Amino acid sequence: MQVSLIILAAGQGTRMNSDLPKVLHRLGAAPLLHHAMAAGRALDPEHVVVVTGHGADAVAKAALAFDDSTVTVRQDEQLGTAHAVLAAASASVVHSGDAIVLYGDTPFIRAETLQAMLEARAKHAVVVLGFHAADPGRYGRLIASGDSLDRIVEYKDATDEERAVTLCNSGVICADAATLFRLCRAVGNANAAGEYYLTDIVALARAEGLSAGLVLCDEAETLGINTRAELARAETLFQTRARAEALENGVTLTAPDTVFFALDTVIGRDAVIGPNVVFGPGVTIESEAEVKAFCHLEGCHISRGADVGPFARLRPGAELAEDVHVGNFVEIKNAILGEGVKVGHLTYLGDADVGEGTNIGAGTVTCNYDGVMKHRTRIGKNAFIGSDTMLVAPVTVGDGALTGSGSVITEDVPADAIAIGRARQVTKPGLAAKLFDHLRALKAAKKDAK
Ligand code: UD1
Ligand code: MG
């Protein structure tokens, strides 16, 4: 059975007190929207439709960045969740199969839960994800008998008796797409909020003789983000889960509570991550690699057996092959390091290729930016870049070549050559002693004059 996702993300999120649309606030270094999309992706959906409204262009861009086959559709006026689903229908991409409605501000729904909802569709025309709320607050209440659902009543419209129900609506709904759209078209807005409630489709389905059912999940899964305080709490929750997952997957974390993961961090078995390591988006680390304390990594790949840090920064496009060694106070950006390359200390490599077995001396800098454009540095295999070499790009250093310490390399260096680009040393025997005698005499003369 094919399934499509409809992700509602048009709301403003007034309580975030922000110019940024709510679903673009970051959790685990990824927009909230990506979390909902990631849970849905595990179902291998045929179509993903994201309904945008507030900050539509930015939200659409973020959706496409996650998956460029996403269809985004604009809901200019936010007239309610059923109205939003009909905006998705107007995109005319989802025609058949099941559709699951998710919210862009609800990041913790698990793929397994969505799978359970799809399975429950074998018994019910409409399946709603519910939970038992510790404090049901303003959630919609599920009026059910057993796993059969009669209707959903929104808090604003509920009687005291209905408000006493603690079984609540998460907002996630699954139905055959054609049925979902048909029922949404029948939804009216004669209610306390004057909105078109998606939740009304349950009673409408029942009135047609269709069955509606329930799947239950843990309350933590349905946690929605409405305020910055909730976002901060969600971050803690996300990190706690990500750490536990990494440990379970066979990653060693010496101080788990100090390691911060991103939504898409991938770390292989038997990798070791030291204390105070921060993962930005787009990091993959292979098995048996080690990241030592206080590293900041984003958009990079670290291969098996490589070791990085302490105090290293890998930025987007840093590709480390097997057994690369990157030491302290090294920054690498958009650079490909071949197998066994060593970059021990105090170095910046940006826009560079470094061939296997090459050693980069302390204090080396690729001068990649001329103030207007970026240029590439190409270093061959088994080369030796002397300490404090400035490589003024574009420049190439051939295989097996060597640069003298302190060189400013502005011209290409052929394979196996030595290039020295610095002033020749001048040594003057005895001159230091003479100079110091002279300076001391000057100082003494000054004292006498006072
Ligand atoms: C909704 C449910 C409620 C449930 C709760 C769970 C309805 C009528 N009510 O209430 O039963 O307990 O979620 O959190 O569905 N959105 C749009 N366009 C719109 C309206 C909303 O895209 O026109 C999006 C919002 O951005 C948000 C989501 O849909 O991501 C839910 O909307 P919201 O206004 O938060 O609904 P609730 O009142 O919380
Ligand atoms: Mg809400």
What is the pLDDT, as a whole number, of residue 146?
Answer: 83
Q: Which of 35, 83, 132, 345 is catalytic?
A: 345
Cα(274) to ligand 1 centroid in Å equals 41
- Per-residue pLDDT of 396-412, as tens digits, reads 999 999 999 999 999 99
The angle subtended at Cα 141 by Cα 136 and Cα 143, nearest 5°, is 135
Cα(401) to ligand 1 centroid in Å equals 64
For every residue of 247-266, DSSP letters joined together read HHTT-EESSGGG-B--TT-E
- Per-residue pLDDT of 131-180, as tens digits, reads 999 999 999 999 999 889 999 999 999 999 999 999 999 999 999 999 99
For every residue of 4-49, DSSP letters joined together read EEEEEE----GGG-SSS-GGGSEETTEEHHHHHHHHHHTT--S-EE
CATH architecture of 242-419: 3 Solenoid (2.160)
Ligand 1 contacts CB of residue 83 (under 6 A): yes
Nearest CA residue ID for atom 8, ligand 1: 197
> Which bin fits 430, alpha (ψ -120 to 50), beta or left (φ > 0)?
left
Instruction: Please say if the pLDDT value at position 201 is more than 80.
Output: yes
25 to each of 223, 226, 270, 382, how far by Cα in Å?
15, 11, 33, 45
What is the pLDDT, as a whole number, of residue 40?
Answer: 96
Cα(138) to ligand 2 centroid in Å equals 9
What CATH number matches the domain at 3-222, 3.30.540.10, 3.90.550.10, 2.60.40.10, 3.40.50.300?
3.90.550.10
What is the pLDDT, as a whole number, of residue 431?
Answer: 98
- Per-residue pLDDT of 277-315, as tens digits, reads 999 999 999 999 999 999 999 999 999 999 999 999 999
What is the pLDDT, as a whole number, of residue 112?
Answer: 96
Ligand 1 contacts CB of residue 82 (under 6 A): no
What is the pLDDT, as a whole number, of residue 291?
Answer: 98
Cα(224) to ligand 2 centroid in Å equals 7
Instruction: Please say if the pLDDT value at position 360 is more than 90.
Output: yes
Nearest CA residue ID for atom 35, ligand 1: 11
Q: Best mutation site among 103, 216, 223 for ligand 1, i.e. most ligand atoms within 8 A of its Cβ?
A: 103
Ligand with minimal distance to 103 CA: 1
Please give the share of the chain, as a percent, with pLDDT higher than 70.
Answer: 100
Instruction: Please say if the pLDDT value at position 390 is more than 80.
Output: yes
How is residue 227 written in tokens?
């305020």
Contacts of 210 (CB under 8 A, 6+ apart): 125, 126, 179
- Closest atom of ligand 1 to CA, residue 170: 6
Average pLDDT over the chain, rounded to whole?
Answer: 97
CB 135 within 8 A of CB 40: no
Is the peptide bond preceding residue 136 cis, with omega within 30 degrees of 0? no
Nearest CA residue ID for atom 22, ligand 1: 10
What is the pLDDT, as a whole number, of residue 397?
Answer: 98
What is the pLDDT, as a whole number, of residue 306?
Answer: 98
C-alpha 170: how far from its chain's center?
24
Instruction: Please say if the pLDDT value at position 34 is more than 90.
Output: yes
Instruction: Please say if the pLDDT value at position 1 is more than 80.
Output: no
Cα(81) to ligand 1 centroid in Å equals 6
The domain segmentation of the chain, as residue ranges, is 3-222, 242-419
345 counts as catalytic = yes
The angle subtended at Cα 252 by Cα 247 and Cα 258, nearest 5°, is 80
Residues 271-282: b if buried by 16+ CB within 10 A, e if exposed: bbbbebbbbbbb
- Taking alpha carbons only, the member of 420, 388, 428, 423 closest to residue 402 is 420
- Rounded average pLDDT over 204-223: 96
- Closest atom of ligand 1 to CA, residue 154: 11
Ligand 1 contacts CB of residue 198 (under 6 A): yes
- Taking alpha carbons only, the member of 203, 24, 186, 190 closest to residue 107 is 24
